[in-house]
Amino acid sequence: MGTILLKNLKNELENSIRKAVDLEEIVIVFSRPPDFKLGDIATPLSFELAKKLKKNPMQIAKDIVDTIILPEGIERAENSGGYINFFFDRKYFSKKTVMTIINENDSYGKGEEKKEKVMVEYSQPNTHKSFHIGHLRNVCLGDALANIMEFSGYPTVKANYIGDVGAHVAKCLWGYMKFYNGVVPEKNRGEFLGKVYSEADNKLKKSEDYQEEYKVVLKNLYEEDKRTMDVWRMTREWSLEEFNRIYKELGVNFDIFFYESEVKDEGTKIAKELLDKGVAKNKDGAVIVDLKEYGLDEFVILRSDGTALYSTKDLALAEKKFQDFKIDLSLYVVGSEQKFYFKQLFKTLELMGFSQAKRCYHLSYELVMLEEGKMSSREGNVVLYSELKDVVKKEALKQVRERNISNAESISEIVTLGALKYSMMKDNNKRIIFNWKKALDFEGDTAPYIQYAHARASSILKKIAVFTSEFEIDELNEKEYKLVSLLSELPEIVEKASIDYRPDYVSNYVYDVAKCFNEFYHECHVINAESNKEFRASLVKATKIVLHNALALLGIKAPEEM
RNA sequence: GGACCAGUGGCCUAGUGGAUAUGGCGAUAGCCUCCUAAGCUAUAGGUCGGGGGUUCGAAUCCCCCCUGGUCCGCCA
């Protein structure tokens, strides 16, 4: 890992300020001035000090500006209404930044290697149900989060946890055996099961006789009746095949797959052990952990009939993660409706004595909804991932063909997946109201816009006969410098995203970079540049690297042309 | 009833203690003999849900209220 210029400058500057102020225990906050003309970084420190020193903030700022010994690379400090604004040696900064990016290339933005091992659990689809656009949000967010953790230096394990047991499976199996027994669809077998599930659920609501039949299937499933298990294994495989096809298409690679069916027995054992240890207690035949003193109610960890619950299995899975995989941080990407549940789970893990319980984090996200309301696999009013992908792909293909580009098929695939993923990357505390018009929009704040900027940068570089990363800078104009300045921020953005678990920091950033590049591109010619030609070429290369690296964190490919 | 999340121009959105609130969509007016127009430029559009408070400074923190959503299940 090379030097992170911007961060180093800030550190050195902080030291200089400390010396100038000569006070212990002050927190120095930096911000960006609203305009580059005012400086490169600023601090409102004097307002903070005014209280302590009982002096006018303007005077304090002036004193600091007069006495501070600035580190190398920072030209001057200015007092502006109490703010202290610092000006970089911009040519030096630009040259250093661009050269650093080009040298580090794919590693630019990478954080220092860390010892703590992270596991990100995401996707967690249920077999025997359809994979819809709500599931897509989870995969996109989870994969981006895992990529960000890894890039910021944590050894990271990408984990999936498949829900292959439970009532929904029994419903689907009942429906299959009742109405489709022996049917093996040619293709899209997973989707077929999704439809069977929805149909079964509907019919079960309407008939008590059906209910009785279903209960037998449920019992058979729990008791691992041979015939039922055969159908279960076959259909389960259909769903898994479909999931794997989707993951492959999305370019998502899990390191490990867990299955509910594999941890339920271990979970049952744990629940009983907790009962013996006194961590849990018996209530009406069920095993519960009393969390009332933590404001978390009672947590049921085993049914009174002795069968496993979601919680039972999650306890076993967590133990496996801590003990077998030796992870230090455990991140769960799961919908926000399970917030309370995860608080209970983490508290219980803590009571079980796992030190890692404090480093468990539930990254929650809100639903993807349709304009007419919530989607429900049960109701069957869902937009399937495959439907959405096909429609978007068709539009992308149409648009690529209009542009006369040779490998239309692969480019349109890249554009399609980029557009889908990027749209899922928004603030996870907000609902996404899905609509087709927006899904087919490739302009403005979208992935294709960013990919397009990358393609243009690539195109320029191809047209430059001799590329040299040796350059001097004459005069820097505003567009050039603004771009440099933004590019210098990637390492900090990645770091912040990994600390706050916020993939959207990266998606917002990469959009800003693309926008800034487009503005630069329109104002500053590169190939026929009258000045700064070599510098601009290098700047374009650096931009391409930053766009590529940031998009890669989001799991989005950066095409050479489009 | 209790808890949590959200509320920013017509719509979507950035910003969670700092300077004049960021962009996008849509609208209007321009820019392809010039490195790809999936682009760029300009214009119009704002009680940052409402009201109090803390602070030198609040979209951001505290309190109350309104609206929408979620959870409080031996479902996941």
What's the Å distance between residue A269 CA and nucleotide B60 C1'?
A: 48
**Can you give the residue range of the structural domain that contains A537?**
398-553
- Strands (E) across A274-407 are located at 281-283, 286-290, 298-302, 329-335, 360-365, 368-370
DSSP letter assigned to residue A54: T
Radius of gyration of the CA atoms of chain A, in A:
28
- Verify that A74 and A127 share a domain, yes or no: no
Rounded to whole angstroms, the Cα distance separating A433 from A149 reads: 28
Lookup: nucleotide whose C1' is closest to A447 CA: B38
Q: Are residues A168 and A28 in the same domain?
A: no
In angstroms, rounded to a whole number, what is the distance separating the alpha carbons of residues A383 and A389? 10
In a domain, A407, yes or no: yes
Q: Which nucleotide is nearest to A165 (CA to C1')?
A: B76
CATH classification of the domain holding A450: 1.10.730.10
- Name the domain count of chain A: 3
Together in a domain, A65 and A203? no
Spanning CA of A288 to C1' of B2, the rounded length in angstroms is 21
Report the alpha-carbon angle A233-A235-A239, nearest 5. Answer: 110
User: Which DSSP string corresponds to A248-268?
Assistant: HHHT---SEEEEHHHHHHHHH
Q: Which nucleotide is nearest to A314 (CA to C1')?
A: B76
- pLDDT tens across the length of chain A (562 residues): 345 688 889 999 998 998 888 777 778 889 999 988 899 999 999 998 888 788 888 889 999 999 999 998 999 999 988 899 999 999 999 999 999 999 999 999 999 999 999 999 999 999 999 999 999 999 999 999 999 999 999 999 999 999 999 999 999 999 999 999 999 999 999 999 999 999 999 999 888 999 999 999 999 998 999 999 999 999 999 999 999 999 999 999 999 999 999 999 999 999 999 999 999 999 999 999 999 999 999 999 999 999 999 999 999 999 999 999 999 999 999 999 999 999 999 999 999 999 999 999 999 999 999 988 899 888 878 999 999 999 999 999 999 999 888 899 999 999 999 999 999 998 999 999 999 999 999 999 999 999 999 999 999 999 987 777 788 888 899 999 999 999 999 999 999 999 999 999 999 999 999 999 999 999 999 998 888 989 999 999 999 999 999 999 999 999 999 9
Nucleotides of B under 7 A from a protein CB: 4-6, 12-20, 23-26, 34-36, 38-41, 56-57, 69-76
CA of A126: nucleotide with nearest C1' = B76
A350 CA, B70 C1': Å apart: 26
Residue A470 lies in a domain: yes
Contact assessment for residue A543 and residue A471, using Cβ atoms and an 8 Å cutoff: no
Same domain, A405 and A313: no
A35 and A79 both lie in a single domain: yes
User: What is the ipTM metric for this complex?
Assistant: 0.96
Backbone angles phi, psi at A317, to 5 degrees: -65, -40
A438 CA to B66 C1' distance (Å): 31
Q: Which of A370, A385, A413 is the last residue of a domain?
A: A370
Contacts of A10 (CB under 8 A, 6+ apart): A30, A41
CATH at A65: 3.30.1360.70
CA of A62 to C1' of B40 (A): 42
**Closest nt to residue A521, judged CA to C1':** B35
| Residues A354 and A427 grouped into a single domain | no
Residue finishing a domain among A334, A352, A370: A370
Instruction: Report CA(A521)–C1'(B30) in Å, whole number.
Output: 19
Q: Does A337 map to a domain?
A: yes
